[in-house]
Chains A and B, each alone.
Chain A
Amino acid sequence: MAFLTLKETITIPTYDNPETCRAGSVTVDREKCNGCGNCVLICPGACLYLAGVGKERKAHMVDKEVPDCMSCNDCAAICKRGAIQADHGYDFGFFYKALHRAEMVPPRNF
């Protein structure tokens, strides 16, 4: 059962504390990524960058404790090679705690 306690309701989380909040995050498959940079162009949170030379040119996630990633998965949609994927949704905790959520699943045709 997911619910908010009184303490959570009245506490505003500190947005930049990695101990209390979990930002979205993406995993780049280094084998599949060819460094085309499409995901970097469209990322609304400016969370991705290209690094490396030649064949080692790959997308990376910025090295911030709490990146601006919101797990929108737009990077996964634009990647033709399926090299990038969001791992989990964001959860800032306390007042903004995510409720009644489960793992990420593609659309299901019942």
Chain B
Amino acid sequence: MVENVKAEISDSSNRAGEMYGWYEGMEWNPVEKVILERRSVRKYKDEQVPEKLVRRILEAGRFAPSAGNSQPWRFVVVRDGKMLEEMERYVRLRCRILKFLLDWEGGPLGRLAWLNSQLCIRLMPNELHPIPYGAIRLIAEGKLKLFHGAPTVILILMDRRGVGKPMVDVGICGQNMVLAAHSLGLGTCWVGFVELLNFGTKWKKKLGVKWPYRLMEGIALGYPVGQPDGMIARELHEIDWWEEGRKRTVF
């Protein structure tokens, strides 16, 4: 009897980290580990990522699920250091302009900037959320880098004629690539501010961003400095749970 229990325990501990199965309290399997330990990496080594490795990551994006199998994405890979620097400068200038127009704290427009920001925040509540608003200020002041010195950037263009909600599909596709990249030992960071490259013709022309495409997101790729990955604490979210005709709240 005791031996049986022992055998079961050793059997279950052997199964720890195994895929395609579950028992209560089991250790994280490799996929969960990759998901939970992925952190946004904001400091990269100068070392370039091998071309074949980037190609492999792009394959993970190609096989992402999308509404009606519409695959509303197009990838642009930029591995040219000079070009990345120019893009960064371009975005920083746009951030300076935005800061000039919207920063009510120390800007030259003063009260006018405050009125302007009240209007703009109501028109674009997501883009001008306090967090990106702070990031605009940091990028304008040069305290935050756009690509964090990553040697490779994957730009994701969205086909605006996609089925249903192409924005969601683009996000799913990007996350596929981010998780694949992490599992292959790379660091990644989503760079939403590449959207500012849409303001003006220079980069739209160079990157081929025209109807029906829109430049949505960028993913910075590279070898991280140090060990930035690890599990951390996050807020619990309240979950409504309906079962047997009653509602419970779980966290």
Using CB atoms and an 8 Å cutoff, list the residues of chain A in contact with chain B: 2, 12-13, 15-16, 21, 38, 41-46, 68, 70-74, 76-78, 80, 85-86, 88-90, 92, 95-96, 100-107, 109-110
- Given the complex, which residues of B lie within 8 Å of A106, measured CB to CB? 231-234
Q: For chains A and B in complex, what number of residue pairs have CB atoms within 8 angstroms?
A: 106
Q: What are the residues of chain B within 8 A of A109 when measuring CB–CB?
A: 25-28
| B144–A46 CB distance below 8 A | yes
B residues near A89, Cβ cutoff 8 Å = 235
Name the CB-closest residue of B to A38: B226
Interface pick from B2-10, B38-46, B65-73, B91-99: B38-46
Nearest A residue to B37 by beta-carbon distance?
A77
Alpha-carbon separation in the docked complex, A13 to B225 (Å): 37
- Contact: B131 with A70, CB < 8 Å? yes
The CA-CA distance from A2 to B251 in the complex, in Å, is 14
Closest-CB distance, B219 to chain A (whole angstroms): 16
Q: Does B246 contact A (CB under 8 A)?
A: no
CB A76 to nearest CB in B, in angstroms, measures: 5
Nearest-CB distance from B126 to chain A (Å)?
A: 10
Contact (Cβ within 8 A) A73 B233: yes
Q: Which residues of B contact A96 (CB under 8 A)?
A: 129-130
B42 x A44 contact (CB < 8 A): yes
Report, nearest first, the 3 A-B pairs whose CB atoms are least far apart.
A100-B238, A73-B232, A77-B230
Q: Does B36 contact A (CB under 8 A)?
A: yes
Mask: chain B, 91-135; 1 = CB below 8 Å from A; 0 = not = 000000000000001000000000000100110010001110111
Identity of the chain A residue whose Cβ is nearest the Cβ of B28 in the assembled complex: A109
Q: Is the CB of B235 within 8 A of A102?
A: yes
Q: Does B83 contact A (CB under 8 A)?
A: no
A–B complex contacts, Cβ < 8 Å, 14 sampled: A43-B42, A46-B143, A68-B138, A73-B232, A86-B233, A92-B130, A96-B129, A103-B236, A104-B235, A106-B232, A107-B36, A109-B27, A109-B28, A110-B25
Minimal Cβ-Cβ distance residue in A for B24: A110
Residues of the B chain whose Cβ atoms lie less than 8 Å from the Cβ of A38: 226
Q: In the complex, are the beta carbons of A12 and B118 less than 8 A apart?
A: yes
A94 CB to closest chain B CB (Å) equals 11
Judge whether B130 and A21 touch: CB under 8 Å. Answer: yes
Least Cβ–Cβ distance between A64 and chain B, in angstroms: 10
Knowing A96-B130, A105-B233, A105-B234 are in contact, say whether A74-B42 is a contact too (CB < 8 A): yes
- Decide: B40 and A74 in contact? CB cutoff 8 A: yes
Contact A42 B42 (CB under 8 A): yes
Query: Complex: how many Å from CA A43 to CA B137?
Result: 15
A102 touches B138 (CB 8 A): no
A4 to chain B, nearest CB (A): 13
A73 to B36 alpha-carbon distance, docked (Å):
13
A12 interface neighbour in B122, B228, B230, B235, Cβ under 8 Å: B122
A96-B129, A104-B234, A110-B24 given as contacts; is B39 within 8 A of A77 (CB)?
yes
- State in angstroms the CA–CA spacing of A24 and B118 once bound together: 23
With A15-B134, A45-B134 as contacts: A95 and B125 at CB distance below 8 Å: yes
* Complex CA distance for A70 and B121, rounded to whole angstroms: 19
Tell me the complex Cα distance, A109–B27, Å.
7
Do B230 and A78 touch (CB < 8 A)? yes
Within the complex, which residue of A78, A92, A110 is in contact with B226, where a contact is CB–CB below 8 Å? A78
Q: How many Å lie between the Cα of A68 and that of B138 in the bound state? A: 9
